Structure 1
């Protein structure tokens, strides 16, 4: 059987896909609240390595990827892992960032991916299509040209499928394979739209094959993506709103379809940071999982809080341990109580200390059963291209992970066995 290496959380998007209007309006409505939200905290984006000239170089690097079509972004990842680029960040600063590291040889060579002692036949991506759809009237908008309805989701989904088809056409023997997730923000859609979206785009079989090339079938998405900071409440009190999310959960649970939810306190926002934190908090998923205990949910970014409510940005910076965050603790509790709760390393893995802290936490647990659950429910992810705010390249991010203190056996679980189980794929890693 093919041996898969999974990036369980990544984004391929260009500047047409995000809804910058919602983000700017959420900031404009309360600028002071945005400043105190942690978006500008030293631990999130404004690291010492990203100030001044280096910050401009980082933005240049990120936007050089964002301006590409989605298919070219996929090809760029493969080219990067094959050694097509040279890193430049060290030359741009007298003191390079601590997380700037590269392997001696390209990861992809001789048609396979080499990572530590393991060799992989395929590099599998889970591209997450986010639902940036917007529903507001001209009266509600503060922008002169803002349209009443922006249905960005369907065009983003089409661009993703077209990008995969383009990659497969120009790289018929390429290493990349795709398991995309479709985003839904039930807050801005009618029930019938949600029903039609799931029926039209989500696959209910578990074969790893993409299906015949050239077949224009949009039913190729393997799971659902929630993004609470854009306004998705996992368990609304309003009966009509709850009915919509319950439909999604029932669809996913009944068909063993996995769901990934954003879980750090930063990123794109369509609501105030206070509401975003309330919706994003893993504790908000307690009633969901109590009603749908078989639902497979991955909490992205391992619940990192760059500025927890009630803690100043300075205190958040001084408390550097990743495993002291209340959201991290809540995710671990959910893992202990529910059999299908997962978490991924995306974006958090830009910091080598994340892996060290997580390794120490797991291996110092007195509860061996809980340690086993964490190791079997954790998944490697990059958050590419967003992670370019803190690393120079895809290869740079992968090297940080390779240098982590986890054993080869544990890494094999994170990149292969665990995501295969999460997706329910009918394949076996070997």
Structure 2
């Protein structure tokens, strides 16, 4: 079976995120948003989105996916790749033919029998939020269980309405250890994560440091809980996906989120579990200008390389450990990202270049990416127009994710 992977995307509706947790993280109000880089011109407030109407359209388009069921969103995603929607953006790039036609997925010179879809469930569960300024107390919530139920129902809806569809699902289960007991975490792992041929639905674990996940806590009780996850994943060769850019949904203040999210925070983890299979999402991109090298802006795009320190920390981990990967989700909303990544690979010797290329995964970050691109199709088109060769792209959408997921197929 020849699979095309979207290694990183999200489907959810408005009940799944924990908005109380997000707003409680903004201790400094609007100032915190400015400091964090959320308002950076390279993040959401791009030149195109600075006009209020354009930004409103992007936000409204994003929210449409939150106003429907997960199953309806999955159907919409495949319909989009089949060319069933018209563009309303004169600047949006579109393929000459829909990516799905004649019963196959098409990308550059290759065709694929099926699409391996890896939705990432984030664990928005929370402890009781402490905020003395709130009149009503915010309760402790175990949101992940309802999210799992709704997601599995969404898969069933898709299969029922699209019996000949190309999507097959390989979801990742979100776990936020700091808000759960050891027995609850053990129950999640043993109940939902597939460790063999049994009919469990989840193929990997999703970690999200900005919600307060410390990859290697100093507190012994908290460390025991993350060790439980790492040992389970190492024993059964389960892939882990961790968020790795300096933006996104947060449950803690920005500087604390950065501390946990930085690739370097996983150094003690990988030193103890060197075979851990882990994908650092978004390729370690940083949008906060204070974190970047301003001199890189003086060179032309064709000669520039990434200016995010986390990017280089991540590549260092790739070169040290055999199962460290990175994906291009959300970062690939900006066509320049692929130019910078390609430029960097050209600076490497043959062996290092092949290591980095062989650990690179395609992902979209749908539907979060709709704040920067018009559609699911638009994101694919940006990737298709990247400077990578057809063989490079095939590695990123097929060969590399099969290896990362540790899946045995005939393709």
TM class by smaller structure: over 0.9
Which residue in 1 is equivalent to 2:48?
49
Runs ≥4 residues deviating over 6 A: 314-320
Q: 1:195 aligns with which of 182, 186, 192?
A: 186
> Within 2, Cα distance between the matches of 1:111 and 1:143?
54
- Displacement of 1:65 in angstroms is 1.5
Which residue in 2 is equivalent to 1:93?
none
> Within 1, Cα distance between the matches of 2:305 and 2:65?
29
Helix, strand or coil: the match of 1:89?
coil
Residues 348-357 or 381-390, more deviating? 348-357
- Displacement of 1:142 in angstroms is 4.1
- Displacement of 1:228 in angstroms is 0.3
Deviations 1:274-303 (A, max 9, x none): 000000000000000000011001000000
Residues 197-206 or 385-394, more deviating? 197-206
Q: For the Cα contact (< 8 Å) 2:204–2:240, is it kept in 1?
A: yes
- Mark the runs of 5 or more structure 2 residues left unpaired by the alignment: none
> Within 1, Cα distance between the matches of 2:4 and 2:158?
18
Q: For the Cα contact (< 8 Å) 2:291–2:309, is it kept in 1?
A: no
Q: For the Cα contact (< 8 Å) 1:378–1:418, is it kept in 2?
A: yes
Q: For the Cα contact (< 8 Å) 1:304–1:322, is it kept in 2?
A: no
Query: Are 1:357 and 2:340 an aligned pair?
Result: yes
Query: Are 1:115 and 2:113 an aligned pair?
Result: no
Residues 30-39 or 404-413, more deviating? 30-39
Helix, strand or coil: the match of 1:21?
helix
- Displacement of 1:147 in angstroms is 3.6
Helix, strand or coil: the match of 2:269?
helix
- Counting only pairs closer than 5 Å after superposition, residues 68-147 of structure 1 correspond to structure 2 as 68-90=68-90, 96=91, 100-136=92-128, 140=131, 142-147=133-138
- Displacement of 1:359 in angstroms is 1.1
> Within 2, Cα distance between the matches of 1:286 and 1:19?
29
Which residue in 1 is equivalent to 2:223?
242
- Displacement of 1:34 in angstroms is 2.6
Q: For the Cα contact (< 8 Å) 1:206–1:425, is it kept in 2?
A: no
Helix, strand or coil: the match of 2:124?
coil
> Within 2, Cα distance between the matches of 1:173 and 1:13?
23
- Displacement of 1:364 in angstroms is 2.4
Deviations 1:102-129 (A, max 9, x none): 1111111111111111011001110000
Helix, strand or coil: the match of 1:359?
helix
Query: Are 1:290 and 2:271 an aligned pair?
Result: yes
Q: For the Cα contact (< 8 Å) 1:43–1:317, is it kept in 2?
A: no
- Displacement of 1:141 in angstroms is 5.9
Deviations 1:298-324 (A, max 9, x none): 000000000155569x98988985622
Q: For the Cα contact (< 8 Å) 1:42–1:317, is it kept in 2?
A: no
Helix, strand or coil: the match of 2:214?
coil
Q: 1:373 aligns with which of 355, 360, 364?
A: 355
Which residue in 2 is equivalent to 1:214?
none
Q: For the Cα contact (< 8 Å) 2:292–2:309, is it kept in 1?
A: no
Which residue in 2 is equivalent to 1:9?
8
- Displacement of 1:355 in angstroms is 0.8
Which residue in 2 is equivalent to 1:25?
24
Which residue in 2 is equivalent to 1:172?
163
- Displacement of 1:370 in angstroms is 1.1
- Mark the runs of 5 or more structure 1 residues left unpaired by the alignment: 91-95, 212-218
> Within 1, Cα distance between the matches of 2:309 and 2:234?
27
In structure 2, the CA distance between the partners of 1:70 and 1:317, relative to structure 1 (3 Å rule), is: farther
Helix, strand or coil: the match of 1:323?
coil
Q: For the Cα contact (< 8 Å) 1:323–1:361, is it kept in 2?
A: yes
> Within 1, Cα distance between the matches of 2:209 and 2:29?
19
Helix, strand or coil: the match of 2:106?
strand
Helix, strand or coil: the match of 1:150?
coil
- Displacement of 1:5 in angstroms is 0.3
Deviations 1:26-49 (A, max 9, x none): 114554233211011111111121
Which residue in 1 is equivalent to 2:402?
420
- Counting only pairs closer than 5 Å after superposition, residues 151-170 of structure 1 correspond to structure 2 as 151-170=142-161
Deviations 1:188-209 (A, max 9, x none): 11111100010011001269xx
> Within 2, Cα distance between the matches of 1:256 and 1:318?
44
Q: For the Cα contact (< 8 Å) 2:126–2:179, is it kept in 1?
A: yes
Q: For the Cα contact (< 8 Å) 1:265–1:305, is it kept in 2?
A: yes
Which residue in 2 is equivalent to 1:185?
176
Aligned residues: 407
